[in-house]
Structure 1
Amino acid sequence: MSNSYVLVINSGSSSLKFAVIDSNSGDALVSGIGECFGLPEAAISWKYDGEKTEESIPAGGNHHQYAFERIVKLLDDLNLTEKFVAIGHRVVAGGESFKGTVRVDEAVVAEIDRLAELAPLHNKANADGMRAAMAVFPSLPQFAIFDTAFHQTMPAKAFTYALPHELYDDYKIRRYGAHGTSHFFVSREAAKMLDKPAEKTNLITVHLGNGASITAVKDGQSVDTSMGLTPLAGLMMGTRCGDLDPSVIEFLIRKGWDSEKIFETLNKKSGFLGVSGLTSDARGIMDAVDAGNERAKLAFEVFTYRVAKYIGSYLVALDSLDAIVFTGGIGENSLPIRSEILNNLKILGFVEDAEANADARFGKSGVIAYSELLGAQAIVIPTNEELVIAQDCVNLL
């Protein structure tokens, strides 16, 4: 297809990311984000032709709707509306209903809405983004790309919870995972760097950002992942607690907490923010560590320790290891966090190349450590979920 531009939309709980992507080259004609929705500092910014523009979003009203309408006007003003041939929507939770990319219609949107019980912070916003796009671009084909799809290859021993089996039969309670688009992309890029076929490559992919997850990739397929029924499980994150003794919930109920307060706390007030008492942003945590803040140091230590523990445990899922792959905003850019994770993996023989680790940041890939014991590398690869989404759309067209 000669014209291969796709409008990619990632509608989140408090943000709306967008880009017009060339599915052949991966280049973005324009990209931007509306963020901090619901807060006084809500704003929308975009990059076009090397220049960045930022505008504040007026207080009050529906910030998602305002941002989408502003994006449409921007695309019209830049004469880009006629260039894209499809719209691709990132969706967090597909449950067992969606095992791959599907074309969007009203029934698909309704099912994505229903599956919000698996991703309460995300799926409602994903569905709202689709409805808005369908209203403005009714004749354009639109596709939903699911974060859970890559993990559909997990064996039952990995996705099954040790609960009465009727809970799976009746409610499909199981591990689904998330960030699958990112884990898929970096696993394929890692295979290229290693000069191996993807189907013969064994990796542990480590997506670290405000949301964070780890995946064991065996022969190119996901065989285990850290997020669970919802994106709350697994690693400590920006505001999410990660793995937790379920009795903590029972304990808080006995203390008079209701379910809304409990899950508001676990989803939005925990993680980096909860442990440090300062911020959910890893950059702010590291600034506070440098300033001597003990709670920030504790947050740093809890996070890096948990990541290393998961990496170690996922060796069980693999016959051999070719590489650990770091990606995501933190994984791609935070030198001290990567260094501490590698330091926690000394028993596996990983020796950091400090200079290479310092170089592999801000959009650059690179090998940052090697283990003679395992014959494995540690690699940094910037993720590109938008390219995967664009390519899926064009392939299905």
Structure 2
Amino acid sequence: MSQSVLVINCGSSSIKFALYPSSDSSAPSIKALAERLGEQQPLLTIKSADAQENNTNTNTVLELDPGAAHKEALSAFMDQCQSALSQLAGIGHRIVHGGESFSASTLLDDNSIAQLKQVSDLAPLHNPVNLLGVELCQQLQPGVPNVAVFDTAFHQTIPESTYLYAVPYDWYQNAGVRRYGFHGTSYRYVAQETARRLQQPADSLNLLIAHLGNGCSACAIAQGKSVDTTMGLTPLEGMVMGSRSGDIDPSLIDYMVNHKGKTLEQVSNDLIRNSGLKGLSQLSNDMRSLLEAEAEGHEGAKRAIDVFCFRVARQLAALSTSLSSIDAIVFTGGIGEHASEVRRRILASWRNLGCRLDAELNQQNGDDTGRISAEGTQRIMVVATDEELMIAQDTYQQVTHD
């Protein structure tokens, strides 16, 4: 009987793979990364569970042909892992934007794929390449079901008063202009894991979760449901990110186009790819590099980190208005899980929170439950996310559903 599930996350120049051998697997048996796709030296790196557990350097690294793109990378992965993929129950795909049509993970067919193509203009950098992954898997693994798991689905419970922009209402009616939110699969996992660690039902908790990585957002969760989040129509709105600006005055775009000679395309590209930590520091979009540079006296690095931390604190404080109480504030994502100094500075910027960190617990990224706050104060936690596991579980549920 088919048991395994393959999880695929297609980016513009990369593909992440994770193979889960059975429905009760909590970790993949194989992980792989295809990177630099379309460039001169594309690579495919495959790591087995044995190598991961033993921390041994037994990766299989394949140099793909120059210019090799997504189809060649998928083919190479499937050729290398042919035996492990022989009993696939389904393939789960991360799809960034589901619009209003999809409020839960969905078994894909021609009709649902056509619906997804209609909302691709809401996420032009993400959805087309996500759907390319689906189409390639249909070609390379004919007969194997494909399941879409949406970043936006978890946020479909946000109320109208929160998701509507104060723009002409027909923009929403005719063009779908509203706040959708992203990182939903991460929030769903972290909310469940936080509840497990606190030994309480997920639907009894009010949580503020900050997902901080190269992309950053935060979410207010009331009794297990998303009620507010920082990202909007696209993943550009909200917090300062690695290379994305986050919130700006919309008139800034008009100013740069009509008064500073930039084209609309140039401004859009700069806001997405050359802003955030990268733009402020004039050095890097990577928080680890910026922390190291700041320690060596780099003024741009300090400037970027200061702005980042303050803006996260301000966004979290704003989100707290959507909750009647807060059971825990949770950090997740690459920065949220590992950058103790960034967490400290975010909480120091949120001066009316009344929180006291336990310096030692914060330095070690939390105790057994993930707590980094001092006893007797607002509970602050660090919980590692696992979006791939959620995609695998949703895929099993969809392909075995009667």
1:166-186 deviation per Cα after TM superposition (whole angstroms, max 9, x unaligned): 111111100000000000100
Q: Distance in 2 between matches of 1:220 and 1:74?
A: 40
Corresponding residue for residue 30 of structure 1: 30
Q: Does 1:137 align with 2:141?
A: yes
- Greater share of residues in strand: 1
Q: Which residue identity lines up with residue 64 of structure 1 in the other structure?
A: H
Q: Does 1:67 align with 2:69?
A: no
Q: Does 1:222 align with 2:220?
A: no
Per-residue deviation at 1:26? Answer: 1.5
1:89–1:389 contact (8 Å) kept in structure 2:
yes
Give the stretch that moved more between structures: 9-18 or 153-162: 9-18
Q: Which residue identity lines up with residue 289 of structure 1 in the other structure?
A: E
Per-residue deviation at 1:358? Answer: 1.9
Within a 5 Å distance, the mapping from 1:1-397 to structure 2 comes to: 4-21=3-20, 22-40=22-40, 42-48=42-48, 49-50=50-51, 51-61=58-68, 63-76=69-82, 79-254=83-258, 255-360=260-365, 366-370=370-374, 372=376, 376-396=378-398, 397=400
2:8–2:94 contact (8 Å) kept in structure 1:
yes
Q: Distance in 2 between matches of 1:101 and 1:386?
A: 13
Q: Secondary structure at the match of 1:93?
A: coil
1:365–1:382 contact (8 Å) kept in structure 2:
no
Q: Distance in 1 between matches of 2:369 and 2:84?
A: 31
Give the stretch that moved more between structures: 112-121 or 142-151: 112-121
Q: Distance in 2 between matches of 1:149 and 1:243?
A: 22
For the aligned residues, what is the CA RMSD?
Answer: 1.8
1:160-205 deviation per Cα after TM superposition (whole angstroms, max 9, x unaligned): 1001111111111000000000001001111111221111100001
2:181–2:230 contact (8 Å) kept in structure 1:
yes
Q: Distance in 1 between matches of 2:208 and 2:42?
A: 36
> Which blocks of at least 5 consecutive residues in structure 1 are unaligned?
none
TM-score if structure 2 supplies the norm length? 0.93
Q: Which residue identity lines up with residue 242 of structure 2 in the other structure?
A: G
Per-residue deviation at 1:119? Answer: 1.4
The structure-2 alpha-carbon separation of the partners of 1:386 and 1:126, relative to structure 1 and needing over 3 Å to count, comes to: same
Identity %: 40
1:23–1:387 contact (8 Å) kept in structure 2:
no
Q: Distance in 2 between matches of 1:281 and 1:305?
A: 17
1:280-321 deviation per Cα after TM superposition (whole angstroms, max 9, x unaligned): 111111121122110111111111111111111111100100
Corresponding residue for residue 55 of structure 2: none
1:75–1:81 contact (8 Å) kept in structure 2:
yes
Q: Which residue identity lines up with residue 141 of structure 2 in the other structure?
A: F
Q: What is the aligned length? A: 390
Q: Which residue identity lines up with residue 30 of structure 2 in the other structure?
A: V
Per-residue deviation at 1:114? Answer: 3.0
Per-residue deviation at 1:115? Answer: 1.9
Per-residue deviation at 1:135? Answer: 0.5
The structure-2 alpha-carbon separation of the partners of 1:364 and 1:261, relative to structure 1 and needing over 3 Å to count, comes to: farther
TM-score if structure 1 supplies the norm length? 0.94
Q: Which residue identity lines up with residue 153 of structure 1 in the other structure?
A: T
1:233-291 deviation per Cα after TM superposition (whole angstroms, max 9, x unaligned): 00111111111100000101103322211111111111111111111111111121122
Q: Which residue identity lines up with residue 391 of structure 1 in the other structure?
A: Q
1:56-115 deviation per Cα after TM superposition (whole angstroms, max 9, x unaligned): 343224x22222111111211xx2112331100010000011111111123323332332
Q: Distance in 1 between matches of 2:368 and 2:137?
A: 33
Q: Distance in 1 between matches of 2:151 and 2:34?
A: 21
2:151–2:183 contact (8 Å) kept in structure 1:
yes
1:349–1:371 contact (8 Å) kept in structure 2:
no
